[in-house]
Amino acid sequence: MVQPPIDPKSADPASATEDTKRFDADKVLLEKLKHTIKLSDVNPADYDAVFYPGGHGPLWDLAEDKNSAELISAFYTQNKPVSFVCHAPGVLKDVKVNGEFLVKGKKVTGFSNAEEEAVGLTKIVPFLLEDALQKDGAIYSKGPNWEPYAVEDGLLITGQNPASSKLVAEKLLKKLTK
């Protein structure tokens, strides 16, 4: 069990929202985070859904992670919702279901090329999320920069940017309560 890393930009007080302030003040939740299990130890039978928060980190550590790809595929094929916010849809880059990219022909969103350009990181990130999703056959769409925007296509729920986190969580909770 390990403490998951937090993207330094996400921890920046300038990025704080009412939801992240509530999260940061939740002592019970913060204690639980100190005991997070590794992806390689996750059994999909023990969980109802996947929710990957954003930050740039997933582009480096999870986009190429075999355990992550296998878990997402397992949840999806077991008819369980999978959801991703901001840069987290980048973890879908190599995820396949029945030999096809999971995102092929699916409506998705994620951090846009325009938003990446606005933060000055297009030459730093390992790949541009919008381009990678389209390359894998996704039907990519986006809303205005920095505004909440989420797309739901069957079991797949994606949000464009940090402002979309709450919207994605609400869509996921609605799907789980059906």
Q: Is 100 a catalytic residue?
A: no
Check if 56 is active-site: no
Catalytic residue from among 86, 115, 130, 152: 86
Residue 84 CA from chain centroid, whole number: 2
Would residue 117 show up in a list of annotated catalytic residues for this protein? no
18 burial level (CB within 10 Å; 0-12, 13-18, 19+): exposed
What separation in angstroms does the CA of 169 have from each of 52, 83, 98, 163, 166? 10, 8, 27, 11, 5
Q: Which of 115, 116, 130, 152 is catalytic?
A: 116
DSSP state of 107: E
**Candidate list 87, 115, 130, 152, residue with the active-site label:** 87
Query: What are the catalytic residues?
Result: 86-87, 116
